Amino acid sequence: MTGTHTETIPLVDETQLRVTIGEPDGAVRGGVVVLHESRGMTSRTEAIVEALAGEGWLAVAPHLYHRDDPGIDEQTDDDEAVGRGAAAISGESVLADSDAAFGMLAERGVSSDRMAVLGFDIGATAALVVAAQRSLGAVVTVSAAGVTSPLATGLPPLIDVVGELTCPWLGLYGESGDPVEPAEVDHLREAAHASGRVVDVVVYPSREHRFDADERAAAQPDPLDEGNSEEATKMEARSRVLNWLDAHLR
């Protein structure tokens, strides 16, 4: 039976990085680094890590806000604390934290071509930054913002990095209720083709593609289990993510 656990590892900048890990019961098909949404490491993110492990992926989710406040995990309902954590994100910090997670995958025998990075909103922005600078098997982003203007002071505009992608990219957006305008999505898609990588950017009619949302709801179904979802768009988005991993992490 799969589950998650959290470990703490030291980084070279003398900070302590917490990572939530989901390990498959059987053979490991590959590894997925999960970069959390703007509210930090929520119960929903933990559920996604666990669900990926249930699909055979070794999933590692670094807690990205640790530099600003080591206790941020207990403050995800505090808008001010979350805002400070998000503002402190930089290209250097997400690379350092992601590299630590990739290192854990490598220690468990996962090669770089069987590694992916999956991110949600601010984590999606970070995932594209990582995928432009690290050789991976795939990248998946859900509502990656900061297309032409930086999402945080230390992050580059995505339009400046997608032309350097090292791996196939699946990007999911919503036409309404999403933080990115459809015209910006089109601009980003066009720029990504300069990388020469496979690019699939999907824009749904609403924001209901966000299968990582609603983490405060009383009932928390398996977010990657289609049978527990009543929303067809979220089901389709989940299927796309799993199919993308299946297709590119071989």
Report the number of distinct structural domains present in the chain. Answer: 1
Q: How far apart are CA 250 and CA 9, in angstroms?
A: 28
Answer yes or no: is pLDDT of 22 > 80: yes
- Mean pLDDT over all residues of the chain? 87
CATH number of the domain at 208, please: 3.40.50.1820
State the first-to-last Cα distance of the chain, in angstroms, to the nearest integer: 24
Q: What is the pLDDT of residues 114-165, one digit of tens each?
A: 999 999 989 999 999 999 999 999 999 999 999 999 988 899 999 999 999 9
Nearest partner of 248 among 198, 201, 194, 192, judged by Cα: 198
Q: How far apart are CA 54 and CA 56, in angstroms?
A: 5
Answer yes or no: is pLDDT of 226 > 60: no
249 falls in which pLDDT band (50, 70, 90)? very high
Lowest mean pLDDT among 39-43, 58-62, 243-247: 39-43
**Phi–psi pair at 171, nearest 5 degrees:** -120, 130
Tokens representing residue 95 in the block: 């690379």
* Burial track 137-166 (b if 16+ CB lie within 10 A, e otherwise): bbbbbbbbbbbeebbbeebbebbebbeebb
Please count the residues of the chain. Answer: 250
Strands (E), the chain: 4-10, 16-22, 30-35, 57-62, 115-120, 138-142, 169-174, 199-204
Tokens representing residue 171 in the block: 């990007």
- Which of the two residues, 66 and 238, has the higher pLDDT score? 238
Domain coverage including residue 152: 4-248
Give the H or E element holding residue 192.
helix 182-192
Residue where the block lists tokens 């398996």: 222
Is the distance from CB of 69 to CB of 85 less than 8 angstroms?
Answer: yes
Answer yes or no: is pLDDT of 234 > 90: no
